[in-house]
Amino acid sequence: MNAILTGPLALASRRLHCWRYISAVALHNNNLMPSRRQQNQNNNHNLQITRHMAGHNKWSKIKRKKAANDVARARDHTKAARAIEVASRSCQGDMADISLQSALAAARAVQLPKERIEKAIERGANPNAKDELSVIRRYDGMVPGSNGKVAVIIETLTENKNRTAANVRHLVTKIGGELLPTGANDWLFEHVGVVCVSRNKHTNEEENATGEPVDEDELLECALDGGATDVDFGADEDQDTSNAEVDSIDNPIVIKCETSGLLRLVQSLKTDGYVSSQFDNQWLVRSDDNKVILNEEGSDKFEKFLDSMDEDLDVTNVYHNATFPEEVS
């Protein structure tokens, strides 16, 4: 039987129990709350996590840039395959046809896989294939520049000309320009055949094998015999002799001819071992007096316009008479 304390003893006992209770609560709180040193360690750990997240954001930017490049590559491949199919349909798959050869050269320039090239040729040559993508349309227009209006000639390839016309009109008017009747800009441009020739010749039958640099006099004689009207070897300062292979690709020799003589010229160059990296009929500015020089602001705006045109799968080429600031000597 427990004795009941009274008087001073009872008061002392209650104070002892109260002290024990407070001590127990304090000890429990200390276990829950970390020390200052632990807090600093935790803060440092959080900072490390933050730095890691910054690296993650950097990788996100790289992925977005890579995704944009992949989209552009896929768009170029789609356009190249469509061009091959249309050219193949028009000539029933005849590999000697100049239009098909030009489409193949353009496809190789954008590194279209060989399997897709073969399938595009086969689809076009199939007589039972549905006749699509066979409409080639041209649009002339004027868009704002820095010191006047810039003339543009837009070439398209589409199975739905109404849709393409609406899209082209929207992109031109969006920048403040206007569409003109087809042929309105002929006085500013000339339609010529253009052949880009590598600065190295083939040494054997391998497609990518290159040999010694071309002799300019020999090439000039061969080009003239093939019907060339102009040969541009480029300025000496434009040539990078430190890397002949890269210079041969990025700085080719440009040969011009009549549109009707393009095939003859290409065949003549090929017979003598010259490599035609790209060839087709283009609209080139007739004279430097017809060019419009852009300032920085006008250049940025016009580049966005060209980018929007390039994003349209129906648009194949955009020719213009604008000169960008970095092109002014």
Task: Give residue 187's pLDDT band: very low, low, confident or very high (50, 70, 90).
Answer: very high
Residue 322, beta-bridge partner list:
292
Query: What pLDDT, on a 0 to 100 scale, did the predictor assign at position 15?
Result: 54
Q: Average of pLDDT values for 222-245?
A: 74
Specify the pairing of strand 322-323 against strand 292-293.
Answer: parallel
Describe the chain by its helix, strand, coil percentages, rounded to 5. 55, 20, 25
pLDDT > 90: percent of the chain: 34
Which two three-digit tokens encode residue 14? 């209650």
Each residue of 309-323: pLDDT tens digit? 988 988 989 999 999
User: pLDDT, tens digit, for every residue of 246-303?
Assistant: 444 568 999 999 999 998 999 899 889 898 888 889 999 999 899 999 998 889 999 9
Kind plus residue range of the DSSP H or E element containing 207: none
Query: Looking at residue 205, what is its pLDDT?
Result: 47
Q: How confident is the model over 118-122, as a mean pLDDT?
A: 87
Give the model's pLDDT for residue 284: 94
- What does the DSSP 8-state code read for residue 35? P
Q: Are the CB atoms for 273 and 267 separated by under 8 Å?
A: no
User: Where residue 69 falls among pLDDT bands split at 50, 70, 90?
Assistant: low
What are the start-end ranges of the E strands in the chain? Answer: 135-144, 149-158, 178-180, 189-201, 228-232, 253-257, 274-285, 292-293, 315-320, 322-323
Q: CA separation (Å) from 240 to 144, 226, 235?
A: 36, 28, 11
Q: Is 306 exposed, middle or buried (0-12, 13-18, 19+ CB in 10 A)?
A: middle
Label the pairing between strands 315-320 and 322-323: unpaired
> From the CB of residue 117, how many other CB atoms can be counted at a distance below 10 Å?
17
Strands 315-320 and 253-257, by their bridges, are unpaired
**Tokens of residue 25, six digits:** 């609560």
Nearest to 193 by CA among 100, 99, 116, 119: 99
Residue type, 78: T
Spatial distance between the Cα atoms of 107 and 97, rounded to a whole number of angstroms: 15
What would the pLDDT profile of 138-181 be if each residue is shown by its tens digit?
999 999 987 789 999 999 988 888 999 999 999 999 999 999 99
Query: What value does the mean pLDDT take over residues 118-137?
Result: 76
pTM given for the model: 0.68
Average pLDDT, the chain: 77
Cα separation, 291 vs 175, in Å, equals 19
Q: Is residue 51's pLDDT more than 70?
A: no
Q: How far apart are CA 16 and CA 4, in angstroms?
A: 16
